[in-house]
Amino acid sequence: MNTYKSYTERAKQHPNACARSLFELMERKQSNLSVAVDVTTKKELIAIANAVGPFVCVLKTHIDIVEDFDMDLVQQLESLAKKHDFLIFEDRKFADIGNTVKHQYANGVYKIASWSHITNAHTVPGEGIIKGLAEVGLPLGRGLLLLAEMSSKGALTKGSYTTESVEMARRNKDFVFGFIAQHKMNQFDDEDFVVMSPGVGLDVKGDGLGQQYRTPREVIVESGGDIIIVGRGIYGNPDQVEAQAKRYRQAGWDAYLERLSIHQSA
């Protein structure tokens, strides 16, 4: 089961270029931490990206909540990604038919495909959404994550919804390299989907709008996730951003080492 191998081993054998560079940088930086930066100004976004940059493998953005977005913001994010060695993941949650998402991904004000290494999509519209995004993203070497499970209360990502999403991923491995999910998605020896898990917190249990939290250990060791996504737990207190990023990186990495040790001795 690829889930239980080291990130280095998985990097060596992964067919998807985006996944390979991700696994390599995770090992290089000893980080399976992604910070979800949900702030509404360019200044805050850049400040947080710069502060957490050294500790993350992926910086997750919601570019469409930034009031003063412009292409200079994108250029600054790209510079920080190079400087600190992380990938950018615009959490757009595409959810329309193929012909529409093509334009939303490539064009418009944000031109997401031009700067975001990773993006994601809901499978609810059917497989056409993957085909539409792949037309834009594949030639640019981008990677797509599918939403197979959500951590929010009452989410409908369950049963056949999840099963069919995994089937769609299997049929589109050239572009889809993993999932936003709460558990490992690998079932066969020849597959290696990267699982990024949101809703991770060490101090809180919910936000009053349906979000629910789990610890890094629960996600990595117990559920087989690969990357923990942490939001306000890291940047909620402006004085502690760097300290919290270090703390979560350590918690995530320790959980990964524990998982490795369990499965190496097994």
Active site residues: 93
- Min. distance of Cβ 54 from its own copies in angstroms? 26
- Min. distance of Cβ 209 from its own copies in angstroms? 3
* By the rule CB under 8 A, 103 interacts with its own copies: yes
Q: Which is nearer to its own copies, 178 or 199 (CB)?
A: 199
Show contacts with its own copies in window 142-181 (CB under 8 A). 147, 150, 152-157, 159-161, 164-165, 168
SS3 at position 159: coil
SS3 at position 233: helix
Nearest partner of 223 among 149, 118, 157, judged by Cα: 149
Asked whether 181 and 3 are in contact (CB, 8 A), the reply is no
Helix axes 241-265, 42-52, angle to 10 degrees: 50
Stated length of the chain: 266
* By the rule CB under 8 A, 104 interacts with its own copies: yes
* By the rule CB under 8 A, 114 interacts with its own copies: no
* By the rule CB under 8 A, 266 interacts with its own copies: no
Q: How many residues contact its own copies, by CB under 8 A? A: 51
Asked whether 125 and 116 are in contact (CB, 8 A), the reply is no
Nearest partner of 134 among 144, 146, 147, 124, judged by Cα: 144
- Min. distance of Cβ 41 from its own copies in angstroms? 10
* By the rule CB under 8 A, 64 interacts with its own copies: yes
Nearest partner of 234 among 40, 39, 87, judged by Cα: 39
The binding site for its own copies (CB under 8 A) comprises: 38, 40, 62, 64-67, 69, 91, 93, 95-100, 102-104, 107-110, 122-129, 131-132, 147, 150, 152-157, 159-161, 164-165, 168, 207, 209-211
